[in-house]
Amino acid sequence: MLAGMTIALGATDVKAAEQFSWPAFFGPFHMIVLHFPIGFLTLTVLLELRAMLKPERNSRRAVAFALPITTATALVTVALGWMRAGAGEFDEHLLAWHRMAGIGVLFFCFFAWLVHRAFQQVPDSSIFRFGYRGLLLAAFVCLSLAGHFGGNLTHGSGFLTLNAPPALKRLLAGPPAESTAVKPAAGGTLYTKTVQPAFAKKCYSCHGPEKQKGKFRLDLREAILKGGDSGEPVVTPGDLEKSRLLYHVLLPRDHDDAMPPKGKEPLSPEEIVAVGQWILSGAKFD
Ligand code: HEC
């Protein structure tokens, strides 16, 4: 069974290599370029604060210089973000918020720039002055939101507080979310006692509610039965041979298709046995 699968996976690799696409190539650069609008917009806001304290010509000129650069870098970042999102491995809901905030940055920067130009023509117009300051502030708020949602998209929402003091973690976590809640061991089933906690700890960061690498999520039964990118079921209840999930977790650690990927904590032998038993007994979620 393993040999057959290796051949099948090899064929997908060849297909993937043939399906070259420019957006897929450029998309990841979003992660690098996004630092420019962050830097430039922060700089613009600082320059504007200086201009408020020292309303002289040079201060206004500095803002006039920074605004178009900020807008241009935001435009490139949004375009690359669009290509990055096309890869389709992200939670739709989070992505929608991130996209909206990112476009907000571009939109507000662009209009702040236009209104600032008008302000330079008519320096004593308070409408223009407050107008572009408001737009700049709106751009900055959008930037913070885009950063926040973007961080959750790439790292999962626990990223920042992963190593926080336990008391702070409990405070921030609030009640556990329904899909990732680990139910008490007493009276639990094989799934709730062993399988689900193992998935939650070692797989959900890439196949959970927030992020779906390979378009695959492990926290919903329908999703497991349906499979991800490959379009084939990942688990066939009662049939170990036809359950590719088991194949992926059993591969040698340095194999390209091993799950979790190299460098991440693998499932323990006990957990793998539990996953096998769970599949045999019907892969139920309760
Ligand atoms: C660090 C991120 C990461 C972690 C953690 C991770 N995976 Fe994956 N997984 C991926 C990626 C990326 C793919 C897509 C691989 C590809 O398309 O070549 C994938 C694909 C899969 C697939 C194939 C889906 C399909 O439809 O072909 C299965 C099954 C899978 N993972 C199971 C698991 C299990 C079980 C765990 C936990 C023990 C796990 N993964 C942990 C990144 C991860």
pLDDT one-digit tens code per residue, 32-71? 999 999 999 999 999 999 888 887 788 888 999 999 999 9
Using the 8-state DSSP alphabet, how is residue 236 labeled? B
pLDDT tens for each residue of 106-153? 999 999 999 999 998 998 888 998 999 999 999 999 999 999 998 888
Residues 128 and 219 in one domain: no
Boundary-marking domain end, from 127, 155, 183: 155
Atom 21 of ligand 1, residue of closest alpha carbon: 214
- Give me ligand 1 centre to Cα 120, in Å: 54
3-state secondary structure at position 259: coil
Rounded to 10 degrees, the C-alpha dihedral 126/130/135/139 comes to 140
Residue 14: inside a domain = no
pTM of the model: 0.56
- Give me ligand 1 centre to Cα 213, in Å: 6
Residues 140 and 176 in one domain: no
Residues 128 and 57 in one domain: yes
Residues 107 and 150 in one domain: yes
| 153, 204, 216, best to mutate for ligand 1 pocket (most atoms within 8 Å of CB) | 216
44 closest CA partner among 128, 109, 123, 95: 109
pLDDT band at 11 (very low <50, low <70, confident <90, very high): very low
Residues 61 and 129 in one domain: yes
Q: What one-character-per-residue DSSP string does 49-111 give? A: HHHHHS--HHHHHHHHHHHHHHHHHHHHHHHHHHHHHTT--B-HHHHHHHHHHHHHHHHHHHH
Residues 148 and 197 in one domain: no
| CATH number, domain containing residue 70 | 1.20.120
Contact status, residue 242 vs residue 236, Cβ threshold 8 Å: yes
Using the 8-state DSSP alphabet, how is residue 258 labeled? -
Atom nearest to 267 CA in ligand 1 = 38
95 closest CA partner among 21, 143, 151: 151
- Give me ligand 1 centre to Cα 260, in Å: 6
Provide the domain limits for residue 42.
20-155
What mean pLDDT comes out for the span 146-161?
80
Contact status, residue 143 vs residue 38, Cβ threshold 8 Å: yes
Look at the chain and report how many structural domains it folds into.
2
Q: Which residues contact 206 (CB under 8 A, 6 or more apart)?
A: 212, 213, 260
Amino acid of residue 281: S
Residues 84 and 195 in one domain: no
| Residue the block writes with tokens 């008519």 | 122
